[in-house]
């Protein structure tokens, strides 16, 4: 369905009535007809007696074939090279050897924007060969490659599915401020800015605001940027990322929250299956597999399992290493054919101050991580909800209460037991696609050395 389509001003002036433009993905239903398509000159093989041109539009690729060199004259006369924007009228024919099984014959080409310089990256090959750093430096152009575009289409569909799933469960979408007066999680790793002469920071997470908003709507979610000034330049670090945040009230404990997360992951996966067929093929992606209930291990069970199965004794440690996570992912796959695994009950002292302890074993917390293919994808849990508990924990951890005075109002004036989670969008897409770096899952990543494009 195409809502509007523009022809171009020059033609309008001449009073020409143009055909409606067809998207590349819709051409298959017009076999035998003469149609009009438009997009970018993705590749050109000029052999003389037969010539192949591939047009890329916002949705896919389409092959155009002609034996008449004269048909290419509009490109020649305007010096139009690859990435030129063109419109083509032609006849749709089935052709088993063409990509998608159809191609356009007898093309009439019109140049809309001629590109006369060679793009900084080769976009016309099946694979984008440039090194990751080169792709990122030239993201403005590199993101046009079908393999890069597929990554970002998967991101877009994931956001839509995340929201759709939550809206259908009575959640309300919020947008919390990103300029804040105090660091959320800790004083380190925060970007500082000058706010009309006062110190301010970029929000590391909407955590405090989404909890406050449980007092308003009970169930809220947010999709927005989060900022971490971590001075590490690794394949796992992004200094700005997209956080998919959820928070809900009137829970029993973290085990009430986990099914909501499972429903979200199922919705996202289903949406990819339904809407991203070409992208899954392009990137050779296997969709996540998930049993009816995602398996779940307590942190202490996880450490025990690693000791028994892999002979590494980390039972006195208070966190899981990346290797631990990979082993646990392996175990979940072998035992349950599950790409996902919940680990619950992380040691309380390693979690943020707002984390609710397990009432029976307060050294462990009512928290969880969701591992996806052996890597932490989501963190969540039950939060403290009593004012006195917050005062006590801030005091215990040597944190000043003053920066949290507004936040604490929420608890002072009545909050139910509540909890939630946050999914890192780039991490999700990185793990799904298996790309080499989380930076390649961001449209225009921000890292230690990269502030452009």
**282, 150 contact by CB (below 8 A):** yes
Residue of the chain from 27, 88, 109, 219 that contacts a copy of itself (CB under 8 A):
219
User: Looking only at residues 308 through 327 of this chain, which bind a copy of itself when binding is defined by CB under 8 A?
Assistant: none
> What is the C-alpha separation between 254 and 262, in angstroms, rounded?
13
User: Looking only at residues 127 through 156 of this chain, which bind a copy of itself when binding is defined by CB under 8 A?
Assistant: 138, 140-141, 143-144, 148-149, 152-153, 155-156
Residue of the chain from 239, 269, 365, 367 that contacts a copy of itself (CB under 8 A):
239
User: Looking only at residues 345 through 404 of this chain, which bind a copy of itself when binding is defined by CB under 8 A?
Assistant: 359, 385-386
Task: Give the active site residue among 155, 296, 379, 437.
Answer: 379
Positions of E strands within 47-80: 51-56, 61-66
Lookup: tokens for 201 = 């920071």
Residue of the chain from 256, 326, 347, 391 that contacts a copy of itself (CB under 8 A):
256
**417, 385 contact by CB (below 8 A):** yes
Secondary structure (3-state) at 52: strand
**226, 243 contact by CB (below 8 A):** yes
User: Looking only at residues 163 through 182 of this chain, which bind a copy of itself when binding is defined by CB under 8 A?
Assistant: 163, 167-170, 172-181
The sign one gets for the Cα dihedral 123, 128, 130, 131 is positive
> What is the C-alpha separation between 375 and 189, in angstroms, rounded?
22
Q: Which is nearer to a copy of itself, 93 or 229 (CB)?
A: 229
Contacts of 297 (CB under 8 A, 6+ apart): 305, 328, 341, 342, 343, 344
Closest to 65 in 3D by CA, of 110, 99, 33: 99
Please tell me whether residue 328 binds a copy of itself under the rule CB under 8 A: no
Please tell me whether residue 17 binds a copy of itself under the rule CB under 8 A: no
Q: Which residues of 23-56 are buried (b: 16+ CB within 10 A; e: fewer)?
A: bbeebeeeeeeebbbbbbbbbbeeeeeebebbbb
User: Looking only at residues 68 through 97 of this chain, which bind a copy of itself when binding is defined by CB under 8 A?
Assistant: 83-85
Size of the site for a copy of itself (CB under 8 A): 114
The sign one gets for the Cα dihedral 177, 181, 184, 189 is positive
> What is the C-alpha separation between 147 and 128, in angstroms, rounded?
7
Task: Give the active site residue among 228, 351, 373, 418.
Answer: 228
Q: Which is nearer to a copy of itself, 180 or 328 (CB)?
A: 180
Helix boundaries (H) for 168-253: 207-217
Task: Give the active site residue among 230, 240, 304, 330.
Answer: 230
427 catalytic per annotation = yes
376 catalytic per annotation = yes
230 catalytic per annotation = yes
Please tell me whether residue 302 binds a copy of itself under the rule CB under 8 A: no
Residue of the chain from 192, 235, 312, 392 that contacts a copy of itself (CB under 8 A):
192
Q: Which is nearer to a copy of itself, 112 or 375 (CB)?
A: 112
Closest CB 87 distance from a copy of itself, rounded Å:
8
Task: Give the active site residue among 110, 185, 376, 446.
Answer: 376
Q: Which is nearer to a copy of itself, 70 or 402 (CB)?
A: 402
219 catalytic per annotation = no
Burial of 266 (0-12, 13-18, 19+ CB in 10 A): middle
Q: Which is nearer to a copy of itself, 7 or 326 (CB)?
A: 7
**64, 92 contact by CB (below 8 A):** no
Residues linked to residue 41 through DSSP beta bridges, in sequence order: 55
236 catalytic per annotation = yes
20 catalytic per annotation = no
User: Looking only at residues 401 through 440 of this chain, which bind a copy of itself when binding is defined by CB under 8 A?
Assistant: 406-407, 409-410, 412-417, 425
Binding characters for a copy of itself, 28-47, by CB under 8 A (x = yes): ----------xxxx------
**18, 7 contact by CB (below 8 A):** yes
Q: Which is nearer to a copy of itself, 181 or 312 (CB)?
A: 181
Residue of the chain from 193, 235, 312, 401 that contacts a copy of itself (CB under 8 A):
193
Instruction: Give catalytic residue positions.
Output: 228, 230, 236-237, 376, 379, 427
């Amino acid at each position: 369905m195409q809502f509007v389509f523009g022809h171009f001003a020059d033609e309008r002036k001449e009073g020409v009535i143009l055909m409606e433009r067809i998207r590349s993905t819709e051409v298959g239903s017009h076999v035998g007809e003469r149609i009009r398509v438009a997009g970018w000159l993705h590749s050109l093989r000029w052999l003389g007696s037969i010539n192949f041109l591939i047009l890329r539009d916002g949705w896919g690729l389409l092959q155009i074939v002609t034996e008449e060199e004269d048909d290419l004259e509009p490109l020649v006369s305007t010096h139009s090279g690859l990435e030129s924007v063109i419109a083509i009228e032609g006849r749709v024919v089935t052709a088993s050897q063409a990509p998608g099984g159809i191609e356009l014959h007898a093309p009439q080409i019109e140049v809309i924007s001629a590109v006369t310089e060679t793009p900084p990256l080769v976009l016309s090959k099946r694979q984008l060969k440039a090194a990751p750093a080169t792709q990122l430096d030239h993201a403005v152009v590199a993101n046009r490659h079908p393999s890069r575009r597929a990554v970002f289409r998967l991101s877009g569909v994931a956001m839509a599915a995340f929201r759709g799933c939550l809206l259908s469960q009575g959640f309300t979408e919020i947008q919390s401020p990103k300029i804040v007066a105090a660091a959320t999680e800790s004083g380190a790793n925060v970007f500082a800015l000058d706010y009309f002469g006062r110190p301010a920071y970029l929000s590391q997470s909407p955590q405090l605001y989404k909890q406050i908003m449980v007092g308003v709507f009970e169930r809220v979610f947010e999709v927005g940027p989060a900022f971490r000034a971590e001075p590490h330049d690794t394949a796992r670090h992004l200094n700005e990322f997209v956080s998919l945040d959820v928070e809900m009230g009137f829970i029993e404990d973290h085990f009430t929250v986990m099914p909501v997360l499972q429903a979200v992951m199922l919705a996202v996966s289903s949406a990819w299956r339904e809407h991203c067929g070409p992208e899954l093929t392009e990137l050779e992606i296997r969709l996540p597999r998930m049993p009816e209930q995602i398996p779940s291990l307590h942190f202490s069970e996880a450490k025990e399992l690693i000791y028994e199965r892999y002979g590494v004794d980390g039972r006195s440690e208070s966190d899981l290493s990346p290797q631990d996570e990979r082993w646990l992912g392996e175990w979940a796959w072998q035992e349950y054919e599950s790409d996902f695994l919940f680990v619950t009950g992380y040691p309380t002292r390693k979690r943020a101050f707002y984390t609710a302890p397990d009432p029976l074993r307060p050294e462990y917390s009512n928290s969880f991580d969701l591992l996806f293919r052996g890597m932490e994808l989501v963190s969540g849990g039950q939060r403290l909800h009593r004012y006195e508990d917050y005062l006590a924990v801030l005091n215990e951890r040597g944190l000043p209460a003053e920066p949290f005075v507004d936040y604490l109002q929420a608890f002072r004036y009545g909050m139910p037991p509540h909890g939630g989670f946050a999914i890192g969008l780039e991490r999700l897409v990185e793990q799904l696609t298996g790309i080499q770096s989380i930076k390649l899952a961001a449209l225009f990543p921000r890292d230690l050395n990269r502030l452009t494009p």
